[in-house]
A = this chain, B = another copy of it.
Amino acid sequence: MQIISSKDNEQIKAIKKLKEKKYRDETNEYIVEGIKLVKEAIEEKVNIKTIVICEDCEEESLKNATKPNTQIEQGLLYEIAKYECIYVTKKIFNMLSEVQTPQGILAVVEKGDSIENINYSEDIILALDGIQDPGNLGTILRTADSANLKQIILSENSADPYNPKVVRSTMGAIFRMNIIKTENLAKTLQMIKKHKFEIVATSLETNNSIYDITYKKKVIVIGNEANGVSKEIQDLSDEKVKIPMLGKTESLNASVAASILIYEYVREKLM
* Chain A interface residues toward B at CB < 8 A: 135, 139, 142-149, 171-173, 176, 209, 211, 243-253, 255-256, 259-260, 263, 266-267, 269-271
Bound: A224/B172 CA distance, A: 20
Bound: A256/B269 CA distance, A: 19
Bound: A36/B139 CA distance, A: 27
If A135-B135, A256-B255, A256-B256 touch, whether A248 touches B145 (CB-CB below 8 Å) is: yes
A259 contacts B252, C-beta separation under 8 Å: yes
For the complex of A and B, the 9 pairs showing the least CB-CB separation, nearest first, are: A148-B247, A148-B246, A146-B249, A145-B249, A256-B259, A146-B245, A260-B263, A145-B247, A139-B253
Q: Which residues of B contact A267 (CB under 8 A)?
A: 211
Q: Looking at the complex, which one of B135, B245, B247, B266 makes contact with A246 (CB distance below 8 Å)?
A: B266
B270 contacts A211, C-beta separation under 8 Å: yes
**How near does chain B come to A210, taking the closest CB pair, in angstroms?**
9
Q: Which residues of B contact A176 (CB under 8 A)?
A: 247-248
**How near does chain B come to A207, taking the closest CB pair, in angstroms?**
12
Can you name 12 A-B residue pairings with CB atoms under 8 Å?
A142-B253, A143-B249, A143-B256, A145-B249, A146-B249, A146-B252, A148-B246, A172-B248, A176-B248, A211-B271, A244-B270, A256-B256
**How near does chain B come to A192, taking the closest CB pair, in angstroms?**
21
Number of copies: 2
Bound: A142/B259 CA distance, A: 15
Q: Which residues of B contact A249 (CB under 8 A)?
A: 142-143, 145-146, 171-173
Bound: A139/B225 CA distance, A: 13
User: In the complex, given contacts A209-B270, A246-B266, A259-B259, what are 11 additional A-B residue pairs having Cβ atoms less than 8 angstroms apart?
Assistant: A142-B249, A142-B252, A144-B247, A146-B246, A146-B250, A148-B248, A171-B249, A244-B266, A244-B270, A245-B266, A255-B255
Q: Which residues of B contact A145 (CB under 8 A)?
A: 247-249
Q: Which residues of B contact A251 (CB under 8 A)?
A: 146, 171
Q: Which residues of B contact A172 (CB under 8 A)?
A: 248-249
Closest residue of chain B to A257 (Cβ to Cβ) is B259
Q: Which residues of B contact A209 (CB under 8 A)?
A: 270
Q: Which residues of B contact A243 (CB under 8 A)?
A: 263
Closest residue of chain B to A253 (Cβ to Cβ) is B139
Q: Which residues of B contact A270 (CB under 8 A)?
A: 209, 211, 244
Bound: A178/B228 CA distance, A: 30
Q: Which residues of B contact A244 (CB under 8 A)?
A: 266, 270
